[in-house]
Homo-oligomer: A and B are copies of this chain.
Amino acid sequence: MINRLIKEIKTKEAPIVVGLDPMLKFIPSHILKEGFDRYGENLKGAAEAIFLFNQKIVDAVYDLIPAVKPQIAMYEQFGIPGMEAFERTVKYCKEKGLVVIGDIKRGDIGSTSEAYAVGHLGKVTIGNNSFYGFDEDFVTVNPYLGTDGVKPFMDICATEKKGIFVLVKTSNPSSGEFQDRLVDNRPLYELVGEQVAKWGEELMGDSYSYVGAVVGATYPEQGKVLRKIMPKTFILVPGYGAQGGKGADLVHFFNDDGLGAIINSSRGIIAAYKQEKYQKFKEANFFEASRAAVLDMKEDIKQALENR
C-alpha cells in the first residue's frame, strides 16, 4: 500500500491528504437539513449529514489527491450511527480510488493491539470464514506501549500489504510535555523515531517502509531532525493550515527525491467555504471552495519544494 500511495502521489503530483474530520459546525445548513429530514434531528440524522457532506467533498476533490484521512473520533462521538458513517466514508473513498488513512491512534498490549489491527486493517476469523471490519488502508498507531503494542499491526500489514503511521511528534501545543523530555540528552521523540525506523526496516516497500511516522507540521525543526533519523520512513504531517503550519515550514519533511512526506489538511479544506478567501463560492457550493483550497495547497507545497 505504501508503494501505491507513492504512485498516486507521483501521478497526481500532490503529496497531500485531506482530513475528513466533519464537525457539525462545518456542515452547511442545507446538508444538515437533508440528514435531519431523512432520519430526524438525532444521532442517525447527524451521521447521515456527515456522510453526505463527505461525499460532496470527495466528489469535488478525488481527482486531485492521492489519499484521505478520516479522523474516527469525529464519527465515534455520534455512537453507532457515527461509526456507520465512518465505515461508509472509508468505503466510498476507496471506490473513488483514494488511499484511506484511518486516523485512529490505537495502541494497547499485544493481544489487544492485534484486535485493533484485525478490525481496522485485517480480517477477523469467524468459523470457517473471515471478514473485514473497517478495512482502512493505513491507520495511525500510538507507541506509548512499545514494541509489543506495535508489532501486531505490523504483522497484519505484512499479510494485507497495508501500512501504519506511528505517532512520533504530534502537532498539538502540549506535545512536548512528554515527547520532548530528554533521555540521554536527546528528546524522547527522537528515540521513538529511531524505533520507528528500526521497525520499518522489517517491513520495507520498494523505496519506503510500510511503517510510517506522524510528525506535526507545527514543529518544522524537529521534522528536519526526524527526517534524517528515519530516512526510509514516510512521514504523515498534520497541522498544515488551521493549526498554523505553512508550505515553507514543510520542505524539511521531504527527502531529496521529493518524496517521504504527505501533508494533511482537514478543516482548511473541508470548511474552506467559511474562510474569507473562498467566500465567493458561498455555502451552497462549499465543495467547490474545498476544491479551490486543495489546488491552492498543492501550489503552496509545490512552490515551497521548488524554492528550497
| A73 with B106, Cβ < 8 A, contacts A87-B79, A146-B172, A173-B148 known | yes
Copies in the complex: 2
* Shortest Cβ distance from residue A84 to the other chain B in the assembled complex, whole angstroms: 6
Task: For A147, list chain B residues within 8 Å (CB).
Answer: 174, 177
Are A41's CB and B71's CB within 8 A?
no
Are A146's CB and B174's CB within 8 A?
yes
Are A119's CB and B78's CB within 8 A?
yes
Q: How many residues of A contact B (CB 8 A)?
A: 73
Are B126's CB and A41's CB within 8 A?
yes
Are A129's CB and B41's CB within 8 A?
yes
Q: Which of chain B's residues has its CB closest to A125's CB?
A: B24
Task: For A110, list chain B residues within 8 Å (CB).
Answer: 172
Are A79's CB and B142's CB within 8 A?
no
Interface stretch among A8-16, A58-66, A187-195, A219-227? Answer: A187-195
> Does A175 touch B at the CB level, under 8 Å?
yes
Q: Which of chain B's residues has its CB closest to A116's CB?
A: B73
Binary B-proximity of A108-125 (CB < 8 A = 1, otherwise 0): 111111011011100011
Q: Give the CA-CA distance A127 to B42 in the complex, in Å.
A: 8
Are B144's CB and A167's CB within 8 A?
yes
Residue among B87, B133, B195 making CB contact with A78, cutoff 8 Å: B133
Interface stretch among A178-186, A204-212, A253-261, A286-294? Answer: A178-186
Are B174's CB and A148's CB within 8 A?
yes
Task: For A177, list chain B residues within 8 Å (CB).
Answer: 146-147, 195
* Shortest Cβ distance from residue A131 to the other chain B in the assembled complex, whole angstroms: 5
Q: Give the CA-CA distance A178 to B179 in the complex, in Å.
A: 10
Q: In residues 115-163 of chain A, which contact B (Cβ within 8 Å)? A: 115-116, 118-120, 124-129, 131-134, 142-149
> Does A284 touch B at the CB level, under 8 Å?
no
Are B76's CB and A87's CB within 8 A?
no
Task: For A124, list chain B residues within 8 Å (CB).
Answer: 43, 46, 77-78
Task: For A108, list chain B residues within 8 Å (CB).
Answer: 71, 73, 105
* Shortest Cβ distance from residue A197 to the other chain B in the assembled complex, whole angstroms: 14
Task: For A229, list chain B residues within 8 Å (CB).
Answer: none
Are A77's CB and B145's CB within 8 A?
no
Are B133's CB and A148's CB within 8 A?
no
Are B192's CB and A178's CB within 8 A?
yes
30 residue pairs bridging A and B, Cβ less than 8 Å apart? A42-B129, A46-B126, A71-B108, A71-B112, A73-B108, A73-B113, A73-B119, A76-B119, A76-B120, A77-B115, A79-B87, A79-B132, A79-B133, A82-B119, A82-B133, A105-B106, A109-B172, A109-B238, A142-B142, A144-B167, A144-B170, A145-B167, A145-B172, A146-B176, A146-B179, A149-B170, A149-B172, A181-B183, A181-B188, A182-B184
